């Protein structure tokens, strides 16, 4: 492929390469056949990739999205949130109200892709592909606007902030952006799925995410005189082992849970028993009852092990997003739309990662898809990349999904 082609990529927000930049892309590309929209969306995605912003700090990203929408005459909705953009595209006919969602925040990761359009913000990177999601939703918005007169209802665009912080969706709901909406559709890129493939599954697709921090208080002493203290290191060691039995001995083997300790901090030198040890970790579950069961057993085991070693434990439990469970009827309609968009549909394996889109699904039915991007590295990796041919495909998928739900005569299934 000629580098000059990418230097002259069309669209409102072109990406300009400089010097001896080398652009590595997968797949077969024919520049002559690339549509103007696809060129524009690639340029948009690269702009966003160069200027990533962390959760709750997406100010430039918000302004950029608003600019893109206003240029197309799309109506921006008012919001009390400092970041994020919400907009409506309503047809002339009455019908359901469907929401399409993309997350817009980045991660505190130093980029190591070597791409010519790598992040210009040191220590911040779109390492989870939210730039891809945002560009894809903008593409869907442009398509919906072009066909606005034929829409049988209304489509609301949710450019959501702070997904990585885990509270963005909840704030969007509090802001009233889900009011009057009958169903919601979203997607997440999936590097291990080929471009042109979409993963759709009824029921649990992504896990609930809980985070814990346990401060174990003992009594410090000289390492040579352990009988003068209460050793929190020994107690913490026993606790870590005992906590693993919750999954192996309390959770039904036909169900699933993960309990991982990711951090231990205690002591300052080799010959002193410290006063305190802190452990931190996470629990992942796909079922709300299992989630509650694991938490209750966690608290009981922690209390009992601590007491056995004359220690005191202070547990701080942070409940993140619930399990993400797709609605059967909505997912069926979205599957029809995926076929119309000429995508291969697969039944994906559930992911133990979390996604705050689950908060929306607690309020209204919807469907969340895994969208193939054929990358070499998984989410949150400093060398994370996507195949950009997936962007236009994702835009058509979102567009067709919204149209399918609006055109459906099964409104009762949408609102049930």
pLDDT digits (tens, 9 = 90+) for 358-416: 999 999 999 999 999 999 999 999 999 999 999 999 999 999 999 999 998 544 445 55
Q: Against a cut of 0.75, is the pTM above it?
A: yes
Any alpha helices (H) in 250-352, and if so which ranges? 288-308, 328-340
Q: Residues 400, 279: one domain?
A: no
Largest CA distance in the chain: 82
Q: Residues 31, 101: one domain?
A: yes
Q: Residue 157's domain spans which residues?
A: 3-204+324-415
Q: Residues 267, 341: one domain?
A: no
Whether the Cβ atoms of residue 183 and residue 366 lie closer than 8 Å to each other: yes
Q: Residues 185, 332: one domain?
A: yes
Q: Residues 273, 335: one domain?
A: no
CATH classification of the domain holding 119: 3.40.630.10
Q: Give per-residue pLDDT as tens, 164-180.
A: 998 899 999 999 999 99
Burial zone of 19 (CB within 10 Å; 0-12 exposed, 13-18 middle, 19+ buried): exposed
Last residue of a domain, one of 266, 300, 319: 319
Total structural domains in the chain? 2
Q: Give per-residue pLDDT as tens, 212-224.
A: 999 999 999 999 9
Last residue of a domain, one of 294, 319, 344: 319
Q: Residues 8, 131: one domain?
A: yes
Whole-number Å distance between alpha carbons of 119 and 47: 9
pLDDT higher than 60, residue 140: yes
Q: What are the two backbone dihedrals, phi and then psi, of residue 407, each rounded to the nearest 5 degrees? A: -80, -15
Quote the pLDDT of residue 35. Answer: 77
Q: Residues 238, 191: one domain?
A: no
Last residue of a domain, one of 303, 319, 335: 319
Q: Residues 234, 306: one domain?
A: yes
**Range 146-159 average pLDDT:** 96
CATH classification of the domain holding 265: 3.30.70.360
Position 31 confidence tier, pLDDT thresholds 50, 70, 90: very low
pLDDT higher than 70, residue 97: yes
Q: Residues 220, 197: one domain?
A: no
Q: Residues 235, 353: one domain?
A: no
Q: Which residues touch 57 (CB under 8 Å, ≥6 apart)?
A: 83, 105
Q: Give per-residue pLDDT as tens, 302-352.
A: 999 999 999 999 999 999 999 999 999 999 999 999 999 999 999 999 999
Q: Residues 7, 47: one domain?
A: yes
Quote the pLDDT of residue 7. Answer: 31
Q: Residues 291, 154: one domain?
A: no
Order across the sheet with 75-76: list the strands. 75-76, 85-90, 154-160, 97-103, 183-190, 366-372, 197-199, 344-346
Q: Give per-residue pLDDT as tens, 239-278.
A: 999 999 999 999 999 999 999 999 999 999 999 999 999 9
């Amino acid at each position: 492929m000629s580098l000059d082609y990418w230097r002259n990529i069309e669209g409102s927000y072109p990406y300009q390469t400089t010097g001896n930049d080398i652009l590595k892309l997968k797949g077969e590309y024919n520049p002559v056949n690339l549509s103007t929209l696809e060129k524009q969306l690639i340029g948009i995605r690269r702009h966003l990739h160069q200027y990533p912003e962390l959760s709750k700090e997406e100010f430039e990203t918000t302004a950029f999205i608003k600019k893109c929408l206003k240029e197309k005459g799309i109506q921006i909705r008012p919001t009390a949130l400092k970041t994020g953009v919400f907009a409506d595209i309503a047809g002339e006919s009455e019908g359901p109200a469907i929401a399409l969602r993309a997350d817009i925040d980045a991660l505190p990761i130093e980029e190591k892709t070597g791409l010519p359009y790598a992040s210009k913000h040191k220590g911040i990177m779109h390492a989870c592909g939210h730039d891809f999601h945002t560009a894809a939703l903008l593409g869907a918005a442009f398509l919906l606007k072009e066909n606005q007169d034929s829409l049988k209802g209304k489509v609301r665009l949710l450019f959501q902030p702070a997904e990585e912080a885990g509270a963005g969706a909840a704030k969007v709901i509090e802001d009233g952006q889900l009011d009057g909406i009958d169903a919601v559709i979203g997607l997440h890129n999936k590097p291990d799925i080929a471009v042109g493939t979409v993963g759709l599954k009824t029921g649990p697709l992504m896990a609930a995410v809980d985070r814990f921090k346990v401060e174990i208080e003992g009594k410090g002493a000289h390492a040579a005189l352990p009988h003068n203290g209460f050793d929190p290191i020994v107690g913490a060691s026993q606790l870590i082992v005992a906590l693993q039995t919750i999954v192996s001995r309390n959770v039904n083997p036909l169900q699933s849970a993960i309990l991982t300790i990711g951090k231990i901090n205690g002591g300052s030198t080799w010959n002193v028993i410290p006063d305190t040890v802190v452990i931190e970790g996470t629990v992942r579950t796909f079922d709300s009852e299992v989630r509650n069961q694991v938490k209750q057993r966690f608290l009981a085991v922690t209390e009992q092990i601590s007491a056995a070693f004359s220690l005191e434990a202070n547990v701080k439990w942070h409940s993140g997003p619930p399990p993400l469970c797709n609605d059967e009827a909505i997912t069926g309609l979205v599957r029809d739309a995926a076929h119309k968009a000429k995508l291969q549909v697969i039944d994906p394996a559930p992911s133990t990662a979390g996604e705050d889109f689950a908060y929306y699904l607690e309020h209204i039915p919807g469907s969340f898809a895994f969208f193939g991007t054929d990358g070499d590295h998984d989410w949150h990796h400093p060398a994370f990349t996507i195949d950009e041919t997936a962007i236009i495909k994702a835009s058509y998928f979102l567009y067709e999904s919204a149209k399918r739900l609006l055109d459906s005569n099964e409104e009762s299934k949408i609102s049930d």
